[in-house]
Amino acid sequence: MARAVSETHGEILAAAARRFAVTGYRGTSLQDIAREVGCSKATVLYHFANKEALLAELMAPAITVLTDLDDQLSGLTGAAAQDVAAVGFVDLAVRFRREIAVLRGEFPELLCQPAFAHIQQISERLRDALAGHSDRPGARIAALVLLAGISEACAEFVDIPDDELRPALLTLARRAVEPVGTPQP
Amino acid sequence: MARAVSETHGEILAAAARRFAVTGYRGTSLQDIAREVGCSKATVLYHFANKEALLAELMAPAITVLTDLDDQLSGLTGAAAQDVAAVGFVDLAVRFRREIAVLRGEFPELLCQPAFAHIQQISERLRDALAGHSDRPGARIAALVLLAGISEACAEFVDIPDDELRPALLTLARRAVEPVGTPQP
DNA sequence: TCAGGGTCTGACCGATCGGTCAGGCATGCT
DNA sequence: AGCATGCCTGACCGATCGGTCAGACCCTGA
């Protein structure tokens, strides 16, 4: 057959995204992906060094956006940080619904891999920002519930258009976040 | 060694609960469980017909409570259903934190197993009740975010005492749920 | 025409998975 | 003493996993 390299490469990536989103990273074998593409398992491993590299390339765009959001958040505090975190994360979760679904439930194990080492810290900072940098248990619990719930909802509602899902999630987030005192003049 | 049957049986169950909660159902091998107990893998399979039966016995108490909640919900509508669902699920999630953690991310696959066939329907009814039986997208999205988020939070905050986690989650749920019109006289 | 490089594959590898099975070893009843 | 029963185990099974490798195939440039 011998297709152009970029073509097969992209097809494998797309097939992996579909399968990972349904059956998870560990629940999907290289054989499954190869079958969906219509090539051999060896071909998958010709285009990608190993299974982890395939996942890493799949996640790269989402991770870039997440890192940008983290940078944006670094200079903010209080209610401003809360709102930027809410808007930013909702937008990210809606746009990268499939990538979010891939990680569903496999976060702890996958984050141990070197390619994703810093994501855990970023998500903790994100949670902290959404809690308004407060250490009240209620605020921290609310932030975690929101982040996890929004992720799950995005992975679940695959058939709802972005423009409907995004405002609904944002409204919910703003209603659910524990208000934090902002220094007002 | 030859311990009393109930003793080893219980030890295996406890070890499985610990391991499943950390590494998930699929991520935990029978060998892992046997190692933690200090017996052979064959002993685990002497006390339990197979891996699935071990999981089923582990989940039984939580499933009983969930089924009770479902019965309670069957006769309610509107705001009453919303509040009973919120209180009931928060209580269940807090009490069975470890069982919730086991299912983390493996819901779709595990629910295919015959022992858990009806759980999916129950959780959908629960979500529907929490949405006040409304079909507005905002209400349905909020209900899913809450159920998923509460589950995740309970699985994550293992070190917070029940009496602190429960009211925080309940307050959040009542604040986040989309209010539904109740027929008032 | 031929050499070389990019693409792809079948066959194979060691490791690990869930699960089976014959048999060892106590204990208690007859 | 002899036997049955319950508990436990090492050895083993077929399947599947991620990954390797030698070589086939095709295209292109010299």
pLDDT band at B5 (very low <50, low <70, confident <90, very high): low
Q: Find which nucleotide's C1' atom is closest to B44's CA.
A: D8
Q: How far is the CA of B1 from the C1' of C25 (A)?
A: 9
Q: How far is the CA of B52 from the C1' of D6 (A)?
A: 24
Average pLDDT, chain A: 90
Asked if B84 and B46 touch (Cβ cutoff 8 Å), the reply is no
Q: Residues 6 or more apart from A169 whose CB is under 8 A from it? A: A90, A93, A94, A150, A153, A154, B141, B145
> pLDDT higher for B139 or A112?
B139
Q: How far is the CA of A112 from the C1' of D23 (A)?
A: 38
Rounded to whole angstroms, how far apart are CA atoms A122 and A67?
Answer: 7
Rounded to whole angstroms, how far apart are CA atoms B5 and A173?
Answer: 51
Which residues of chain B are within 8 Å of residue A168 when distances are taken between CB atoms?
137-138, 141-142
Which residues of chain B are within 8 Å of residue A21 when distances are taken between CB atoms?
none
For A35-84, the pLDDT digits (tens) are: 999 999 999 999 999 999 999 999 999 999 999 999 999 999 999 999 99
Protein residue closest via CA to C1' of C21: B42
**Residue B174 — left, alpha, or beta (φ > 0 → left; ψ -120 to 50 → alpha)?**
alpha
Which residues of chain A are within 8 Å of residue B22 when distances are taken between CB atoms?
108
CA distances from B104 to A28, B151, B155 (A): 17, 8, 8
Determine contact: B147 vs chain A, CB below 8 A. Answer: yes
Mean pLDDT along residues B74-80:
93
pTM: 0.90
Please state which of the ranges A17-21, A144-148, B103-107, B176-180 shows the lowest mean pLDDT: B103-107
